Amino acid sequence: MKLKLSPQTLLILEAFLDHPADWKYGYDLSRSTGLKSGTLYPILMRLADRKLLETEWEASEPDKLGKPPRHMYRFTPDGLRFARTSVSAATSGGLGQVALGRILSGLIGSG
């Protein structure tokens, strides 16, 4: 199943690649990527639907009394592979070439 690799998805993949073994929270991801909940969660949901992301509820800790458990996210082994390939393809110019192609075609079109 294909996953649309938008710049926002890449931002999230990059955020997860920073300490990939650690569980991450929704709001922390929102702050680190600068994405609003309306953009962040659909991407997380798609990643989880494709089994690229595992989700778990935080175990309640005595020091966090009164605070309800949070939902946490982490890459599955497949997700980690997918993220590494996607991010490296994007940074090594895969997406850059596409963007350049679009700019050039725009210039040719307008000229």
Binding site for other proteins (CB under 8 A): 25-27, 30, 36-42, 45, 55, 67-71
Smallest distance, other proteins to C-beta of residue 15, A: 15
Closest CA to 14 of 95, 97, 71, 70: 95
User: Of 13 and 35, which CB lies nearer to other proteins in the complex structure?
Assistant: 35
User: What residue has token string 């294909």?
Assistant: 2
Smallest distance, other proteins to C-beta of residue 59, A: 13
User: Of 45 and 104, which CB lies nearer to other proteins in the complex structure?
Assistant: 45
Closest CA to 13 of 67, 96, 86, 66: 86
51: left (phi over 0), alpha (psi -120 to 50) or beta: left
User: Of 36 and 51, which CB lies nearer to other proteins in the complex structure?
Assistant: 36
